[in-house]
Chain A
Amino acid sequence: MTTHTAPPALEITALRKQYGQQVAVDDLSLRVAEGEIFGILGPNGAGKTTTVECAEGLRRPDGGTVRVFGIDPYRDRREARTLVGAQLQESELQGKLTVAEAIELYASFYPRPAGIEALLHRLGLTEKRNTRYRALSGGQKQRLSIALALVGNPRLVVFDELTTGLDPAARRESWRMVEQLRDSGITVLLVTHYADEAERLCDRVALITSGRVAATGTPAELIASASGAGTRFNLDDAIVALSTGAKS
């Protein structure tokens, strides 16, 4: 390459990953530009989490390439993980660790961490700083996991089911926070089940079914490609239509 264009935030080419005989991801390619909010949609077991875990360097691809800002997240884990902040599905913290202790500990893992007080304030956890993890509510635990995803000042943040299990007010709060991240120049990769969330937040989305990208584009493009003549789809309808291959 002779040009000096910056590499995309995330570039996945022909990714393949299987667990035993079970193929989780097969020939999956997608590209996330720096500064956008990119949504990954699809039914349960489609391979969404496997895909983002490969991007986070948690799994070694069986085939294809994954690059975050041009770096191989599995081979050059240390470097890649300073660039990528992760909020994982179903991951907890030590029950007797306090909020402030957790954030301080994780801050010490990164070369240029965010200010702890500012982060506590931003996520509304200042009052809870001395509360132990297991005494937090579901929403507070979620906010703490977001704080830990942001504490390293990442350039790409991966949210895996950010708002699952949150009440409507907390969901809206999370959405505002994601938009603020994008406004501050951070790229966001958002794995979600919720079409309304994707439609509201995402600049572009990829629909993954059976380990492949079934459709990709802006939410409006997905709706347009799924809608038949005369029917008005919303993104929810489009997702169902595109993932089952049935057009009505």
Chain B
Amino acid sequence: MIPARRRSALSNLVRTETLLLAREVVPLLWGVGFPMALLAVMGSFSRGPDKSLGGITLVAAYEPVLIAFTLATFALQGLPAVLAGYRERGILRRLNATPVGAARLLAAQLTVNLTIALISTAGILIVGDAAFGVPLPGQPAGFALALLLAAAAMLALGLFIASVARSGRVAGAVGTMVFLPLMFFAGLWIPRALMPATLRGIGDRTPLGAAVAALHDSMAGQWPSASGLAVLAGYAGVFGVLAWRLFRWE
């Protein structure tokens, strides 16, 4: 093993935060294990192409929703609670008294949550393809762009929650309160294809509704709609700027 001090401070912080996340267990079960379990359930119940779902299988319709789930779990339920808790307990202040500074810990948290969500996404795609016959994205570049914009929008929203919540507990509660309606519009309970047009129209303007639409299109081989990508970029920009302006280290 390389002695810790030979690596950069950021890579040490990423390593530490990864270790701490692994020790928590629950976020990993919820953010990685749960979507994977849902995938397995959907896959086992899929009975071939379904007209009401636009001619694709149930599991294929749900894959973008599960990807949205994994992104939203780490960005809205993991990140804000951890960061606001670090601030509440003086951990950010303590780091600001070292030459490295707490901004590096924030960067490490973003890196760890993004990386795990992307690994989980890759897992969903690979298992979906290998076990349940859901083809890999037909428009890979469009898929990658949609995925990154969706991740950026979710992480920006998570940072915003971490900025305004006074404690880790409050941030966790707010994160969950935001998570549930966003997942509704993503189609977790009612697939978007089965939603009334007005509901789907509202969903298109929410970050996860837009994300699922863009992921769905690119999986089906089309370039995601410009308006959907713009919605995601807009959320990323607005909440990113708000978080930048409002974030406090103590």
Contact B90 A108 (CB under 8 A): no
Interface membership of chain A positions 83-114, coded 1 if the CB is closer than 8 angstroms to chain B and 0 otherwise? 01010101111101100010011111111010
Contact B7 A58 (CB under 8 A): no
Q: Residues of B contacting A131 with CB < 8 Å?
A: none
Q: Contacts A108-B9, A109-B9, A113-B5; is A82 near B99 (CB within 8 Å)?
A: yes
* Contact among B20, B23, B97 for A81, CB-based, below 8 A: B97
With an 8 A cutoff between CB atoms, is A122 at the interface? no
Q: Is the interface of A mostly helix, strand, loop or mixed?
A: loop
With an 8 A cutoff between CB atoms, is B185 at the interface? no
Q: Residues of B contacting A110 with CB < 8 Å?
A: 98-99
With an 8 A cutoff between CB atoms, is A34 at the interface? no
Contact A108 B20 (CB under 8 A): no
Interface centre among B5, B13, B89 (most CB of A within 10 A): B5
* Contact among A58, A84, A97, A105 for B93, CB-based, below 8 A: A58
Q: Residues of A contacting B239 with CB < 8 Å?
A: none
Contact A78 B99 (CB under 8 A): yes
* Contact among B7, B19, B96 for A108, CB-based, below 8 A: B7
Interface membership of chain A positions 32-57, coded 1 if the CB is closer than 8 angstroms to chain B and 0 otherwise? 00000000000000000000000011
Q: Residues of A contacting B97 with CB < 8 Å?
A: 56-58, 81, 84, 86, 88
CA distance in complex: A28, B100 (Å): 29
Q: Residues of B contacting A78 with CB < 8 Å?
A: 99
With an 8 A cutoff between CB atoms, is A152 at the interface? yes
CA distance in complex: A113, B98 (Å): 12
Q: Residues of A contacting B16 with CB < 8 Å?
A: 94, 97, 101, 105
With an 8 A cutoff between CB atoms, is B4 at the interface? yes
CA distance in complex: A94, B105 (Å): 12
Nearest Cβ distance between residue A213 and chain B, in whole angstroms? 24
CA distance in complex: A90, B89 (Å): 7
Q: How many residues of B contact A (CB 8 A)?
A: 23
Q: How many residues of A contact B (CB 8 A)?
A: 30
Nearest Cβ distance between residue A146 and chain B, in whole angstroms? 13
- B10: nearest residue on chain A (CB-CB)? A108
Nearest Cβ distance between residue A20 and chain B, in whole angstroms? 14
Nearest Cβ distance between residue A141 and chain B, in whole angstroms? 12
Interface membership of chain B positions 101-113, coded 1 if the CB is closer than 8 angstroms to chain A and 0 otherwise? 1000000000000
With an 8 A cutoff between CB atoms, is A176 at the interface? no
Interface membership of chain A positions 163-193, coded 1 if the CB is closer than 8 angstroms to chain B and 0 otherwise? 0000000000000000000000000000000
- B22: nearest residue on chain A (CB-CB)? A96
Nearest Cβ distance between residue A60 and chain B, in whole angstroms? 12
Contact A91 B94 (CB under 8 A): yes
Nearest Cβ distance between residue B250 and chain A, in whole angstroms? 8
CA distance in complex: A243, B248 (Å): 34
Q: Contacts A91-B89, A91-B93, A93-B94; is A109 near B24 (CB within 8 Å)?
A: no
Nearest Cβ distance between residue A150 and chain B, in whole angstroms? 12
Contact A91 B90 (CB under 8 A): yes
Q: Which residues of A contact B (CB under 8 A)?
A: 56-58, 77-79, 81-82, 84, 86, 88, 90-94, 96-97, 101, 104-111, 113, 148, 152
6 contacts across the A-B interface (CB closer than 8 A): A58-B97, A88-B97, A91-B93, A96-B23, A97-B16, A109-B100
